[in-house]
Amino acid sequence: MSTTVSPTELRRSLADRLRARGAITSAHWYDAFATVPREPFVPSFKIRTKDGVMALAEGDPDWLPTVYSDDSLLIKFSADDVATSSSTMPTLMALMLEALDVRDGDRVREIATGTAYNAALLCHRVGSANVVTVEVDAALSRAAERRLAALGHTPLVIAGDGRAALPGVPRCHRLIATCAFESIPAAWLRETEPGGVIVCPMGGGIVRLVVEADGTAEGRFLPDSAFFMVARDASYAPSNVMPPAPDSYLSSSTGVSPEALREDGLHFLLSLVLPGVFQRFEHAPDGSVRACEFWDGAGSWARVEGGTARQAGPRRLWDIVEEAYVIYQESGQPRRERYGLSVTPDSQLLWLDTPGSRSWRLA
């Protein structure tokens, strides 16, 4: 994979690929990706491959070509080796930046600075004075500010919780989050100008909302799949370790097979209506799906195998799965873009096709 191609050529090649795939559709963002270097923001990282996880650092022969690949670069991990921060896959970055519909002079707020590569792209597009970026990890925030400054970018970099209001900071015209949320923070409605746009990963997708003058927001999901790290606080210590099966549980027959739960559209719906829930497939020797388990951090658990569902805990996880499965099938296996979200300061409603149709209250 090693190459003697220059960083400038690699940058332009990445921008060309993003435009050819339709992720970039405007001259502004093509220029940003073709101009702003990614390598200063990721001097070392890990990347997932078919053989596991590979670590690369500046000086390795494959480091620079991988920097300009269309891959998510993992930069920070928890104590039990769960990734907690990354440089997002460029295709997803471009899709979200295009959906943001930034205009000249717009004030843009970014939630989750991470490496600061995305913040640098924003600074290139609207100027540093119009960019505010918020990162919960103080160490990442300090590193981001240094790396941005080295390239001549001086946005306001804040170490703090991006879900909260920012006293003394003007309202933004555009808000983009680069980590996943279970619901839209109410403060964002107050912090975004009427007519402004919010682009945010939720579950396995990305929602684009327009803020109204009455302090509500509404919009639809983009058609693209997207799986981001979840929003966290400074003490977040993620773990996806499956707990042991409970001693007692409810058992019932089910017509939903574990294999059916692998369908992407259903997985997307479940990612929204079962926030904070982990899922694991168990495979038979022939590669088929034998069982599927769900669990959360509050003691709820469910397992389906051989036409039997078992569940326990305060939330009946399998009941929620079955209800979503029925609606999904009856509605013609809808894709992401058929779903929308209506947000008020007090409630959030996921809906299918039109507001007021089949819906789920998320908050």
Domain range annotation of the chain: 7-221, 250-330
Can you give the pLDDT at residue 1? 46
Q: Render 237-293 in DSSP notation, one character per residue.
A: ----PPPPPPSS-EEEE-S--GGGGG-HHHHHHHHHHSTT-EEEEEE-TTS-EEEEE
* Predicted confidence (pLDDT) at residue 134 exceeds the cutoff of 60: yes
Cα–Cα distance for residue pair 154/159, rounded to 1 Å: 15
Q: Does the structure show a pLDDT above 80 at 80? A: no
Region 3-7: mean pLDDT is: 81
Q: What is the pLDDT of residues 297-327, one digit of tens each?
A: 888 999 999 999 999 999 999 999 999 999 9
User: How many other C-beta atoms lie within 10 A of the C-beta of residue 127?
Assistant: 16
CA–CA separation, 198 and 188 (whole Å): 8
Going by C-alpha positions, the residue among 191, 354, 338 that lies closest to residue 272 is 338
Rounded distance, CA 6 to CA 208, Å? 36
Which residues does residue 177 pair with via DSSP β-bridges, in sequence order?
A: 111
Answer whether residue 232 shows pLDDT above 70. Answer: no
Query: Angle at CA 174, nearest 5°, toward 171 and 180?
Result: 110
Q: Which of 180, 177, 187, 190 is nearest to 100 (CA)?
A: 177
First-to-last CA distance in the chain? 47
Distance CA 181, CA 271 (A): 11
The domain made up of 7-221 is a member of CATH 3.40.47.10: no
- Choose among 315, 292, 317: nearest CA to 305: 292
179 closest CA partner among 238, 237, 111: 111
Q: Is the pLDDT of residue 215 over 90?
A: yes
The fold adopted by the segment(s) 250-330 is: Double Stranded RNA Binding Domain (3.30.160)
- Does the pLDDT at position 236 exceed 70? no
> Mean pLDDT over residues 33-54, rounded?
92
Overall average pLDDT of the 211-223 stretch: 97
Report the predicted TM-score, pTM, of the whole model to 2 decimal places: 0.92
Decide if pLDDT at 235 tops 60: no
Give the model's confidence band at 233: pLDDT under 50 very low, under 70 low, under 90 confident, else very high.
low
Amino acid at 86: S
Q: Is 304 exposed, middle or buried (0-12, 13-18, 19+ CB in 10 A)?
A: buried
Between the alpha carbon of residue 40 and those of residues 8, 58, 106, the distances in Å are: 13, 10, 26
Do 7-221 and 250-330 share a fold? no
Q: What's the pLDDT score for residue 229?
A: 72
Cα–Cα distance for residue pair 317/298, rounded to 1 Å: 12
Q: Which residue has the higher pLDDT, 132 or 231?
A: 132
Average pLDDT score over the chain: 92
pLDDT band for 238, please (50, 70, 90 cuts): very low
Query: Across-strand partners of 281?
Result: 292
- Judge whether residue 50 has pLDDT over 60: yes
Residue-wise pLDDT for 255-298, tens only, equals 999 999 999 999 999 999 998 899 999 999 998 999 999 998 88
Which residues touch 152 (CB under 8 Å, ≥6 apart)? none
Kindly report, residue by residue over 12-36, the tens digit of the pLDDT: 999 999 999 999 999 999 999 999 9
Under the banding of pLDDT at 50, 70 and 90, the label for residue 241 is low
Instruction: Taking residues 91-108, report their average pLDDT.
Output: 97
Residue with tokens 């009455």: 214
pLDDT of 48 strictly over 90: no
pLDDT score at 2? 47
Give the C-alpha separation, 115 to 126, whole Å.
19
Compute the distance between CA of residue 324 and CA of residue 119 in angstroms, rounded to an integer: 37
Q: What is the pLDDT of residue 15?
A: 98
Name residue 239's amino acid: S
